[in-house]
């Protein structure tokens, strides 16, 4: 492998907040753009994938293969079980470009904000913080109480990008897909990845 290829690796985490479609759509767009994805999904994230997208959470490898068939065949996507604390991405010596947690539950956000590396997702987020790599969180919760806000402020002060799942309507969305790709496009913008998947103001 070319030693520069690590710059095409992103970690994507999907947690138990509503909005699993955001994480799945981001994965598909990153794969289309030629990135390699290291994917981590919490148990609650699997529950949301089942409830919102109809995934078979009892057969996780098969569900992922069905959703990202070509990526699996070409080894462009690596799935890491949540409890695999010895996975490559759990180490700061393994080079990636950064990590996105989308959607990000308040429980996962709290664990990250307080350095509680209790599973692979929160450990990998901790690695991003200690290594000074980009970490982007897409929280999806309402209303927000003071603890939520304080945790987000704490992380923001550490350089974490907080991108709430707040779709805009100035672009005149006509379908659910329009709303989803707006948010995914904004996330990709903050990842520093050029994209034209959503209609921008003034265009």
> What pLDDT does 73 receive?
77
33 annotated to a ligand binding site? no
Please check the confidence at residue 5 and state whether its pLDDT lies above 70: no
Query: Is 45 inside a domain boundary?
Result: yes
Q: What is the mean pLDDT of residues 17-39?
A: 97
**pTM of model > 0.85:** yes
**135-139 and 161-162: which strand pairing?**
parallel
In a domain, 93, yes or no: yes
Q: Give the count of domains, the chain.
A: 1
Q: What pLDDT, on a 0 to 100 scale, did the predictor assign at position 72?
A: 78
105 known ligand binder: yes
Q: Which domain holds residue 140?
A: 7-191
pLDDT at 203: 78
Task: Flag whether 1 is in a domain.
Answer: no
Please report whether residue 201 resides in a domain. Answer: no
Instruction: State pLDDT tens for residues 159-175.
Output: 999 999 999 999 899 99
Distance of CA 190 to the CA centre of its chain: 12
Does the annotation list 159 as a binding residue? Answer: no
Q: Can you give the pLDDT at residue 71?
A: 85
| 91 labelled ligand-binding | no
201 near 186, Cβ under 8 Å? Answer: no
17 assigned ligand-binding residue? yes
pLDDT digits (tens, 9 = 90+) for 43-84: 999 999 999 999 999 999 999 999 998 887 788 999 999 999
Residue 202: inside a domain = no
Kindly state the helix (H) or strand (E) to which residue 162 belongs, with its residue range. strand 161-162
Residue 140, annotated as binding a ligand: yes
Give the CATH number, domain containing residue 61. 3.40.50.1950
């Amino acid at each position: 492998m070319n030693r520069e290829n690590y710059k095409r690796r992103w970690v994507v985490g999907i947690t138990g907040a509503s909005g699993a479609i955001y994480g799945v759509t981001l994965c598909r767009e990153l794969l289309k753009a030629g990135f390699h994805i290291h994917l981590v999904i919490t148990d609650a994230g699997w529950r949301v994938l089942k409830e919102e997208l109809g995934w078979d959470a009892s057969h996780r490898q098969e569900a992922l293969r069905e959703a990202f068939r070509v990526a699996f065949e070409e080894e462009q996507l690596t799935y890491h079980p949540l409890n695999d604390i010895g996975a490559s991405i759990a180490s700061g010596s393994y080079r990636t470009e950064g990590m996105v947690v989308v959607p990000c539950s308040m429980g996962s956000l709290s664990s990250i904000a307080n350095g509680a590396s209790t599973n692979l997702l929160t450990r990998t987020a901790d690695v991003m913080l200690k290594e000074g790599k980009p970490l982007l969180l897409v929280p999806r919760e309402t209303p927000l109480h003071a603890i939520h806000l304080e945790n987000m402020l704490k992380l923001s002060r550490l350089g974490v990008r907080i991108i709430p799942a707040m779709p805009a309507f100035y672009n005149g969305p006509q379908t659910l897909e329009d709303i989803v790709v707006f948010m995914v496009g904004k996330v990709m913008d903050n990842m520093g990845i050029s994209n034209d998947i959503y209609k921008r103001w003034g265009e």
